[in-house]
Amino acid sequence: MSDRYTPDQILGHSDEADGIEEYDNRLPRWWVGLFLFCIAWSPAYAIHYHIVAERSQAGDYDAEMAAAAEKWPQISAEDAANMEITADVLAEGEAIYTTNCVACHAADMTGGIGPNLVDDEWIHGSTKAEITSTITNGVTEKGMPPWGPVLGPEKVAKVAAFVHSKNGT
């Protein structure tokens, strides 16, 4: 066997590769050239991307989050607790209650898995602030998950206003 390259030479690996024959051919020159160009270009691109243009995935993420915060501002918990209670707020609170709370507290709020919400005596307090705290933080030892991270302060305040409006009925 000579050291010279001979194209279309079968390598004889069929016993090891389930009968598949393999040829020993060189890669196309255009492919090798493109591969070498990519290797040569990568340092220049990396320097431009990270140093000259000062871009990064973390920076792009921060910019997107700032744009989202500007477009959809979050209401603070204090502002949500002091929200003016109107018919629209109560209607939105009822919709949130129907979507998230009916499974445990029933549609008529008389309880089921969860406690009765129209009773005069409440386990965790019946003021609007106490209801908001209970919804936000949950009562994990009794099976109620914290809804604050799921709903956000504005929706928590609306559902708390709805539940508070039905207190004692």
Choice among 6-15, 58-67, 150-159 with the minimum mean pLDDT: 6-15
Instruction: Specify the pLDDT at position 127.
Output: 83
Q: Residue 77: is its pLDDT beyond 70? A: no
What CATH architecture does domain 77-165 belong to?
Orthogonal Bundle (1.10)
Choice among 32-36, 73-77, 120-124, 131-135 with the minimum mean pLDDT: 73-77
pTM for the full model? 0.55
When comparing pLDDT for 7 and 134, which is higher?
134
Q: Residue 165: is its pLDDT beyond 90? A: no
Distance of CA 154 to the CA centre of its chain: 19
For residues 44 and 149, what is the distance between their CA atoms, to the nearest angstrom? 44
Q: Residue 96: is its pLDDT beyond 90? A: yes
Instruction: Specify the pLDDT at position 149.
Output: 87
Ranges of each domain in the chain: 1-73, 77-165
Instruction: Specify the pLDDT at position 133.
Output: 86
